[in-house]
Chains A and B, each alone.
Chain A
Amino acid sequence: RKEVEQDPGPFNVPEGATVAFNCTYSNSASQSFFWYRQDCRKEPKLLMSVYSSGNEDGRFTAQLNRASQYISLLIRDSKLSDSATYLCVVNRDDKIIFGKGTRLHILP
């Protein structure tokens, strides 16, 4: 079983819709969690950190569920510019583990 797993998609979603991704992790000792966004042929960029209390940044909400060992990302009122690959990242000690990413296509 991979340490970090994501549904690769693609998710094809109409503009204005709400979309949610989950990412599961296998090691309960994992310590910090992030969502990154990667556009085609570009470097990954931090979207947001993820906390157990949940955190929101505009149209984006991230949540950590330690009991079930998953993190989630919710995008509301999706825009064409949200089309990208979303990477789940988990830290454990010195190790940083990237998921393979979920591709999102926002359709006009």
Chain B
Amino acid sequence: NAGVTQTPKFRILKIGQSMTLQCAQDMNHNYMYWYRQDPGMGLKLIYYSVGAGITDKGEVPNGYNVSRSTTEDFPLRLELAAPSQTSVYFCASRPGPYNEQFFGPGTRLTVL
């Protein structure tokens, strides 16, 4: 199993550009999550999904969108990138609500 994979590993965007961060898992997990982590800070939940076709906002959803058309994939879309979105983005998954999460290696995004 590859576990949770994320692409790209690094990206530099200009202000106003858009991009999609990809996340995939091959563990057949129902629950998937997107977090951002700013330097020296804790994880902040952006969006999450409890199954294909179901998504919900976390604590910092503004400026982002998600979709979950399959169990495996949970892409995060940034529209109109801003410097405040410079961060490390982690995707995670877990089988159910009481289980541990498994994290991807992260995408380091810089918006200039």
Counting contact residues on chain B (CB < 8 A from A), the size range is: 20 to 34
B94-112 toward A: CB 8 Å interface, digit per residue (1/0)? Answer: 0001111111111010000
Point out which of B31, B48, B98 has the most chain A C-beta atoms below 10 A from its C-beta. B98
Query: Provided the pairs A31-B98, A94-B50 are in contact, do residues A44 and B103 lie with their beta carbons within 8 angstroms?
Result: yes
Of the residues B31, B90, B100, contact of A46 by C-beta under 8 Å: B100
Q: Does B43 contact A (CB under 8 A)?
A: yes
**Bound CA span A99–B50, Å:** 22
- A91 and B41 CA atoms in complex are apart in Å by 20
Measured between beta carbons, the chain B residues less than 8 angstroms from A43 are 90, 103-106
User: Are B50 and A49 neighbours in the complex by a CB distance under 8 Å?
Assistant: no
A45-76 to B contact mask, C-beta < 8 Å, 1/0: 11001000000000000000000000000000
- Nearest 10 Cβ contacts at the A-B interface: A43-B103, A100-B42, A32-B98, A46-B100, A98-B43, A94-B97, A34-B100, A44-B103, A43-B106, A43-B105
Point out residues on B near A: beta carbons under 8 Å: 31, 33, 41-43, 48, 50, 88, 90, 97-106, 108
Given A46-B102, A87-B42, A89-B101; 9 other pairs, CB 8 A cutoff: A31-B98, A32-B99, A43-B104, A46-B100, A49-B100, A94-B97, A96-B33, A98-B43, A100-B41
